[in-house]
Chain A
Amino acid sequence: MTERTAKAVRKHRQTGSATRSAPPLELRAMAVEFPLVHGHPNRLPFEGVLTLVDVASDRAPNGARGHRVVLTRSAAEAALPSLLGMAVDYKAGWDGHDARQKCGIITSAELDGRQLRVGGYLFARDFPEMEQTIQAAPMGMSYELADAHVADMRASVWTLTRATFTGAAILLRDKAAYRSTSFRVKQAAPRSRRVPVAAVH
């Protein structure tokens, strides 16, 4: 198995094509590139919207003492590197986090408008029951933050100015503090294209 893990940081700045007066669309992305293994039985690619930036949560997140929260764009941008390599987990009942039930890994993250999109792999062989449930109900995502800085504790909506991502969870969309999150499994590569990654002598 190769030890090389390439880290690519890409910054795209695309000017709006529809109208000249529209502000430029800014996309910030970051990814850990894994060696490609066609037909890997335990790698099921996924993508999802983890959260929104500069938007108040629909409901109070756990740990926010009943306050709705806003994750600022600058805080999310600064925290993007902390998201890579973190695990996705799920809880029995699909209604929260179980940090010890890690069922996948995040390998890419990007800020697209107000959406913080993530991608990665689920450990599909280790959690065979997961895929069926995920496709049966509308699923969302939830972030887990550590050391979040709150600008004003007395504000009715807390503004998070700094934070570190420590993980994410897949859960029923109506259990997420942000109802606009989403999660879906991407089409896996066909197994017939399986190729060896290392020669055995």
Chain B
Amino acid sequence: MEMQMETNAALEATVERLAAAADLLEQAMQRLAERQQESEITIGRISATVEAALEDRLKAAEEKMAQLEAEATAHVSGEPAGRRKTLPAGMSTMLAKQGVAVDSLEAGSLDAALNGLSIEQRFAVKSQLLRSGMLA
């Protein structure tokens, strides 16, 4: 009889300890849930349409990159894009009269060919050829 009472008392103590542990666990869970809620960030407004502004910015950036790449490639090849290699008609006529072919200009032969011109005319012809990129 005495032994049974002791067993009951031990059981009661165990149940009390378990109940206390369960309470603690519940409180811990509640605190964790509160912390989780606190750590969440609230966004004011979201609409499930494609973010147009972002896509537009990406498209503009891609276009700019392509343009820069094209410019860099043209620069590396040594041929400036869009540079004209033409002479005014009067200048071409003057060179033709001196027997100079515009397509095959060389610095040495040019000086010889322009011997018949005045110094001012030679300066004018050479500066024009330099501007047009036909003479380096």
Contact = CB atoms under 8 A, between A and B. Distances in A.
Give the one of B40, B42, B52 with max A CB within 10 A: B40
Interface stretch (B23-31, B43-51, B72-80): B43-51
Contact of B44 (A57, A142, A147, A153): A147
B49 A95 contact: yes
B54 A66 contact: yes
B134 to A, nearest CB: 52
B49 A145 contact: no
A138 B8 CA distance: 73
Dominant secondary structure at the A interface: strand
Contact of B48 (A66, A143, A166): A143
Given A60-B54, A66-B54, A149 B48 contact: no
B43 A60 contact: no
B45 A63 contact: yes
Interface stretch (A37-45, A105-113, A173-181): A173-181
A48 B40 CA distance: 31
Given A149-B40, A150-B40, A161-B40, A60 B45 contact: no
Q: A51, A57, A145, A178 — which one has the most chain B CB atoms within 10 A of its CB?
A: A145
B52 A144 contact: no
Contacts of A166: 45
Contact of A142 (B41, B47, B54): B47
A60 B52 contact: no
A64 B50 contact: no
A75 B73 CA distance: 53
A139 to B, nearest CB: 13
Nearest to A161: B40
Interface in B35-66: 37, 40-52, 54
Interface in A119-170: 142-151, 153, 160-163, 166, 169
B47 A62 contact: yes
A104 B98 CA distance: 85
Given A95-B52, A96-B52, A62 B46 contact: yes
B50 A145 contact: no
Interface string A59-84: 11111101001000000000000000
Given A151-B40, A161-B40, A145 B51 contact: no
A102 interface: no
Contacts of A153: 41
A53 interface: no
A149 B41 contact: yes
Nearest to A51: B48
A181 B46 CA distance: 17
Contacts of A177: 48-50
Given A59-B51, A95-B52, A64 B41 contact: no
Interface of A: 51, 57, 59-64, 66, 69, 95-97, 142-151, 153, 160-163, 166, 169, 171, 175-178, 181
Given A61-B46, A149-B43, A166-B45, 16 more contacts: A59-B50, A62-B47, A62-B50, A63-B45, A96-B49, A144-B45, A145-B43, A147-B43, A147-B44, A150-B40, A150-B41, A151-B40, A160-B46, A169-B49, A177-B48, A177-B50
